[in-house]
Structure 1
Amino acid sequence: MKKLIFLLALCFSLSATAQNSQVFEAANKAYAAGNYEEAITQYEQILENGQTSAALHYNLANSYYKLNRVAPSIFHYEKALQLAPGDEDVHNNLGFARNMAIDAIGEEEQAGFRGIFDTSTAAFSASGWGLVAIFCMLVFVVFFLVYYFSNKTLVKRLLFIGAMFFLVMAISSAVVAATKQSFDKESNYAIVFSEEVQIKNEPSPRAEDAFLLHEGAKVKITENFQDWVEIALPNGSRGWLEEDNLKRL
């Protein structure tokens, strides 16, 4: 019975993947033809089916950008950047999208170890580094098995050195993946989706206004209180707004 359930689940997964692939291709064709609304509907359908990728968010962001929809374009470029932090095209297009936003907030600069770590590991996301760790561990196992059964001294020496190299790479990649995942959890950011929203000094609609934000602004969430969140900007400004005005990254 368990085998039957597993086979049915596998068949369903393969079928869903194939269907999403067809929808993705159809969305790409709609985008190429200039039917951006249709492309958005199909890209969003894939996301609703539980599938995600840097390419999917990137194409969806491009579609929103073509329609001058600031907040969703910035949101999906940011999502693409989370999955492919080293992608230059995503970086460049995100810069163009930010130029459409009214608020010139800028990016929070990471100093010290965090800044060095983010720069030196930007090639992959946390999941990407996890895959690198798995690959290196598999290569280590192959090298070690061949080393164990080999009879030639020189070959054994070279295989041992290679095995140790990939073992160190596997451990290092796993540490990087875990660290990036931890940092990602600490970095609780969101994009403002409301066209205009007054930021309050306290979590209350009757509180005094602190400052004004517009759609597309990227903020850091520092605290939650009922339906309100406290946000912080790179310039040090802080305030409260109702959470339904933004979308978490």
Structure 2
Amino acid sequence: MKHIIYILMFCFSLISTAQNTSLFEKGNTFYKNGKYADAISVYSSILKTNQHSAELYFNLGNSHYKLNHIAQSIYNYEKALFLKPTDKEIKQNLAFANAMKVDAIEVLPEIGYTKYFNKFTSVLKTDTWAVLTVIFFGIFAVLLIIYYFTLSTKTKRILFTSSFSFLILTLITLSFSYYKDNQETAKSPAIIFAKETNVKTEPNFKSQDAFLLHEGTKVNVLETESNWTKIKLSDGKTGWILKEDLKQLSFF
């Protein structure tokens, strides 16, 4: 009975994938014909099936960009970039969308080795660094086993040096994976969706206005209290805004 259930689940999965592929092509056709609202509707229907891909979010971002939907385009480009962090076209289009924003917020400069470390670790996703760690450790283990069963002194020397090299690579990729995971856990990014919102010094309407933010600005969520969310900007400023004025970038 279990085998039948698994087979049925697999068949439904294939059917769903085929349907989504057809819908994706339909959305692309709408986009090429300049029917951007229709393309958005089709792409969004694919997301409702819980299927995610960089291409899907990228095309959705492009459609919103064509309609001057600043927040929606940036939001979807950010999603696409998370799935393909080295894609130049996604980065380029995200830069175009960011150029449409009203707010020009400076980024606090990274100090010392942190700048280069962050740049290098951002080349791959956390999961990819973790996979590399497992692969390198597997090679290290295999080489070590062969080393113990090899009689030739010269071969043993080569195997020892090689296994030690892969052990070093394992430790490096492990540290990168751990560091990047801590970074992602510490951050909770969101995009401002309100056309304009007053950032308050405290989570209530009676408190003073700290500063003003506009649609498309990326912030980091620090905490939530009732209907209010405390945010932090890339320049270090903090304040409270209504929860409904932003949309958090949940990365699956």
Structure 2 equivalent of residue 210 of structure 1: 210
- Is the aligned partner of 1:236 residue 2:236? yes
Deviates more, 1:79-88 or 1:136-145: 136-145
Aligned to 2:94: 94
How far is the alpha carbon of 1:104 from its aligned partner? 0.9
1:11 matched residue in structure 2: 11
Shift of residue 71 of structure 1? Answer: 0.3
**By how many angstroms is 1:204 displaced?**
0.8
Task: Tell whether the 8 Å contact from 2:23 to 2:46 is kept in structure 1 after alignment.
Answer: yes
Contact 1:126/1:177 (CA < 8 Å) preserved in 2? yes
Range moving further from structure 2, 64-73 or 38-47? 38-47
1:43-192, aligned counterparts within 5 Å?
A: 43-112=43-112, 114-136=114-136, 165-166=165-166, 168-192=168-192
Cα pair 2:107 2:235 within 8 Å, conserved? no
| TM-score normalised by the chain length of structure 1 | 0.83
Unaligned runs of 5+ in 1: none
Q: Corresponding residue for 1:200?
A: 200
Contact 1:70 1:100 (C-alpha < 8 Å) held by counterparts: yes
Q: Comparing 95-104 with 167-176, which one deviates more in the overlay?
A: 167-176
- Normalising by structure 2, what TM-score? 0.83
Kindly provide the amino acid, as one letter, of the partner of residue 243 in structure 2: E
1: distance between equivalents of 2:148 and 2:28? 50
Secondary structure (helix, strand or coil) at the match of 1:229 reads strand
Contact 1:83 1:124 survives alignment (8 Å):
no
Distance 1:182 1:9 in 2: 36
Q: CA deviation at 1:193?
A: 0.1
Show structure 2 runs of 5+ residues with no match. Answer: none
Whether the aligned pair in 2 keeps the contact of 1:140 and 1:163 (CA below 8 Å) is yes
Against the structure 1 CA distance between its residues 236 and 145, is the aligned structure 2 distance closer, same or farther, given a 3 Å change threshold? Answer: closer
AA of the residue aligned to 1:121 = T
Percent of pairs with identical residues:
39
Contact 1:191/1:218 (<8 A) preserved = yes
Check whether the contact 1:27–1:38 (CA below 8 A) recurs between aligned residues: yes
Deviation string, structure 1 residues 69-94 (Cα, Å, up to 9, x no partner): 10011111122222222222222211
**What CA distance in whole angstroms lies between the structure 2 residues aligned with 1:103 and 1:156?**
62
Letter in structure 1 aligned against 2:188: N
| Alpha-carbon offset, residue 178 of structure 1 | 3.1
Deviation at 1:30, TM superposition (A): 2.2
Tell which deviates more after alignment, 20-29 or 195-204: 20-29
Pairs aligned (count): 249
The alpha carbon displacement at 1:134 in A equals 4.6
Residue type at the aligned position of 1:8: L
